[in-house]
A and B are shown apart, each in its own frame.
Chain A
Amino acid sequence: MDQLVIADKTFNSRLFTGTGKFKSNELMENALVASGSELVTVALKRVDVDNPEDDVLAHLKHDQFNLLPNTSGARTAKEAVFAAQLAREALGTNWVKLEIHPDPKYLMPDPIETLQAAEEMVKQGFIVLPYIHADPVLCKRLEEVGCAAVMPLGAPIGSNKGLKTLDFLEIIIEQSNVPVVVDAGIGSPSHAAHAMELGADAVLVNTAIAVAGDPVAMGKAFGQAVEAGRAAHLAQIAQPRVTAEASSPLTGFLNQL
């Protein structure tokens, strides 16, 4: 498959994964390995940064994985920047998934705080991947302040509802100069394939793998779906045939000229 480049890194897999909600860390490890994912998010709030033997991190020590710490739990720009700094220290990476959700119920990202935090983080040398609503204008603003990618949501986080924001995702994909990673809401491999067919550069999946009956098999299924969707996008998908509406011809005049 063609490679994805974000900032200074090249990825063979366009499936990004999360590490929450698995029954055990062993199961998480096996599922993520099976998925082929090369970028794995970890919530800073979940790892014990003072303990090098932290259980989550221990299970992610594979050459396959790049860690993407997220700022989940932060409610303001200030908290997010602080969390990113901590993560840089603790995990030795300047990559960060910027998440700010002041709303504990639906975990809706705060656009204003996110933009402020992104600008500050870029200045501090972070590779920033912001998690946001599927808002095309916000995506352009984030691109302008120097974000390395944008991560618009497909549906409310953890909802498994698929691409509810389809129309806006299409606009974002069409307009973006940085990779677009569809994040949140993807509940099944067909959703992931759909996002890739539309031209998304990658998808991020967590819950759908973590809570599946067989997370290892599901991880693999997602890996394959993302590949298939990407390949279909590159191959240029056939379209339903349009039939011209019967109305008076508009080009008949050309015969008179």
Chain B
Amino acid sequence: MYQDLFYQQNWDEVKASIYAKTSHDVERALGKERRNLEDFKALISPAAAPYLEQMAQLSHQLTKKRFGNTIQMYTPMYLSNECQNICTYCGFSLDNKVRRRTLSDDEIIREAEAIRNMGFEHILLVTGEANRTVGVQYIKKAIQLVKPYFSHIAMEVQPMDLEEYEELIEAGLNTVLVYQETYHKDDYKKHHPKGKKSNFDYRVDTPDRLGKAGIHKIGLGVLIGLEDWRTDSFFTALHLDYLERTYWQTKYSISFPRLRPFSGGLEPKVEMTDRELVQLICAYRLFDEEVELSLSTREHPIFRDNIIKLGITSASAGSKTNPGGYVVEPESLEQFEISDERSAEEFAEMIKNQGYEVVWKDWDLALQ
């Protein structure tokens, strides 16, 4: 289990070793054909900042070599904003007084049709954590309902037990995204004071349960802004490395959500600049040529347009982060504000103009 590896590390020591990296370490990492976790540390360190263009060029080449000139498209579908957890950074948090809403079967189908009509074949189902209203059976039903419309079903919901994952995979689930939010245990407690999510260890072992259940793809990441992003990203890379060795038949993706404003919001403890986000994306690519790197609509359009060539392999577009946001009830409360308001079509057009192919479908449920 990753936990065993994780507890052998010490946050402060890891952090110190990242900040101690020098330009020599960065140059060594850049010159290698295969890069290890120490190289990753060098590439995310402040010492790598002057090498950003070089990292970007390399990241561009490696991504082209492995993925070609393609960007995969997906969009989220929020099924519910009910949540029994308190998370200091989220608009759906239990202590946030907003109207709660969970889509009915009929509404799920209407949303699915609308999203499919926008061109999407890959869907990401999202809920808060409210086991009574949106427990495993609700999600299983939702998967069955949307299955006829999509070729690839991902979800981002509460962590579950092994058998529950097995049941959902059987029902057609392909990918699970589960972000650790932060690997800093004390800070994790501060941001998740109440609810099931406050159990750090259960969350950190979720990818292990997914791997054991035989999931096709796992998405990892931290919420950037809660803690030192370099240290948090190292622990993500360590997690990725461990998972790739252990559940070697599973694919992996990484996301880089930066804390976004929302109603009642928390100010980020740590700011990450655009330049640093580019550095992080390139560092992941240089560390792992195969991992999928995903960018959400949290980011600014100019940033999104330019990042296409720098290592990203999948992007969401036209996203709504409220339940029923596409057609059922466009005005309900969002989880966070999105930054790129362009339609999926406009976004796809931009990708094509850069000489890239927009990939809407890259899986088939028949393969499952």
Asked whether A251 lies within 8 Å of B52 as measured between CB atoms, the reply is: yes
Taking a contact as CB atoms under 8 Å apart, the answer to whether A238 and B302 are in contact is no
Measured in the bound complex, the distance between the Cα atoms of B22 and A238 in whole Å is 13
Most chain A CB neighbours (cut-off 10 Å) among B31, B38, B248 = B248
Tell me if A174 and B53 are in contact (CB < 8 A): no
> How near does chain B come to A27, taking the closest CB pair, in angstroms?
40
B333-353 Cβ-contact flags toward A at 8 Å (1 or 0): 000000000000000000000
Task: Answer yes or no: A247 CB below 8 A from chain B CBs.
Answer: yes
Of B31, B60, B248, B274, the residue contacting A240 (CB under 8 A) is B31
How many whole Å from B176's CB to the nearest CB in chain A? 22
Contact A244 B31, CB 8 Å, known A250-B309, A254-B278:
no
CA distance A247 to B58 in the complex (A): 11
Chain A, 229-244, CB within 8 A of any chain B CB: 236-242, 244
Bound Cα distance from A253 to B278, whole angstroms: 11
Whether the Cβ atoms of A239 and B27 lie closer than 8 Å is yes
Q: How far is the CA of A119 from the CA of B60 in the complex (A)?
A: 43
With the chains together, A22 CA to B57 CA distance in Å?
Answer: 53
A79: B residues at CB distance < 8 A: none
Q: Is the CB–CB distance between B303 and A257 below 8 Å?
A: yes
Cβ contact of B300, chosen from A239, A249, A257, cutoff 8 A: A257
Partner of B53, one of A237, A238, A239, A249: A249
Are B278 and A251 in touch, CB under 8 angstroms? yes
Bin the interface of chain B by size.
20 to 34
Residues of B within 8 A of A249 (CB): 53
Is A24 at the interface (CB under 8 A from chain B)?
A: no
Tell me the residues in window 202-257 of chain A with beta carbons closer than 8 Å to chain B beta carbons. Answer: 236-242, 244-245, 247, 249-251, 253-254, 256-257
Given contacts A239-B28, A240-B31, are A257 and B302 in contact (CB under 8 A)?
Answer: yes
Contact (Cβ within 8 A) B54 A254: no
Known: A175-B248, A236-B38. A251 touches B31 (CB 8 A): no
**B246 on the A face (CB < 8 A):** yes
Interface membership of A170, Cβ < 8 A: yes
Cβ–Cβ < 8 Å partners of B56 in chain A: 250-251
- Are B28 and A250 in touch, CB under 8 angstroms? no
Q: With A250-B56, A253-B306, A257-B274 in contact, do A174 and B34 touch (Cβ < 8 Å)?
A: yes
A177 touches B302 (CB 8 A): no
Looking across the interface, which residue of chain A has its beta carbon closest to that of B28? Answer: A239
Interface SS of B by simple majority: helix
A244 touches B57 (CB 8 A): yes
User: Given known contacts A177-B246, A256-B302, is B30 in contact with A242 (CB within 8 Å)?
Assistant: yes
B310 interfacial contact with A, CB 8 Å: yes
The 0/1 profile, CB within 8 Å of A marked 1, for residues 234-252 of chain B is: 0000000000111010000
Please name all residues of chain A whose beta carbon is closer than 8 Å to the beta carbon of B38 when the two chains form the complex.
236
CA distance A237 to B53 in the complex (A): 24
**Contact between B31 and A250 (Cβ–Cβ < 8 Å)?**
no
B97 contacts which chain A residues (CB < 8 A)? none
Q: Is B246 in contact with A236, judged by CB distance below 8 angstroms?
A: no
Interface centre among A249, A251, A253 (most CB of B within 10 A): A251
In the complex, B32 has a CB within 8 A of chain A: yes
Contact-size category for A: 20 to 34
CB distance from B108 to the nearest CB of A (A): 38
Shortest beta-carbon distance from B198 to chain A in Å: 31
Whether B302 contacts A242 by the Cβ 8 Å rule is: no
How many angstroms from the CA of A130 to the CA of B186 in the assembled complex? 44
Closest beta carbon of chain A to B312's beta carbon, Å: 12
Q: Nearest chain-B residue to A257 (Cβ)?
A: B274
Residues 1 to 54 of chain B near chain A (Cβ within 8 Å): 27-34, 38, 52-54
Would A236 and B57 count as touching, CB distance under 8 A?
Answer: no
Partner of B58, one of A170, A174, A242: A242
How long is the Cα–Cα vector from A257 to B56 in the complex, in angstroms? 17
CA distance A241 to B305 in the complex (A): 31
Q: How far is the CB of A172 from chain B (nearest CB, A)?
A: 11
In this assembly, does B65 line the interface, its C-beta being within 8 Å of a C-beta of chain A? no
- Also in contact, A241 and B27, with CB within 8 A (given A177-B245, A236-B38, A250-B53): yes
Counting CB contacts under 8 A, is A140 at the interface? yes
Name A176's contact: one of B32, B52, B245, B306 (CB within 8 Å): B245
A241 to B51, CA, bound (A): 13
CA distance A238 to B57 in the complex (A): 21
Give 16 pairs: A residue, B residue, CB < 8 Å, sorted on A.
A170-B33, A239-B31, A239-B32, A240-B31, A241-B31, A242-B31, A245-B57, A249-B53, A250-B56, A250-B60, A250-B310, A251-B56, A253-B305, A254-B274, A256-B302, A257-B274
CB-CB nearest 9 A-B residue pairs: A239-B31, A250-B56, A253-B306, A244-B54, A140-B248, A251-B56, A251-B53, A239-B28, A177-B245
Q: Which residues of B contact A (CB under 8 A)?
A: 27-34, 38, 52-54, 56-58, 60, 244-246, 248, 274-275, 278, 300, 302-303, 305-306, 309-310
Besides A242-B31, A253-B302, 17 more A-B contacts (Cβ < 8 Å) are: A175-B244, A177-B245, A239-B28, A239-B31, A239-B32, A242-B30, A245-B57, A247-B57, A249-B53, A250-B53, A250-B60, A251-B56, A253-B305, A253-B306, A254-B274, A254-B278, A257-B274
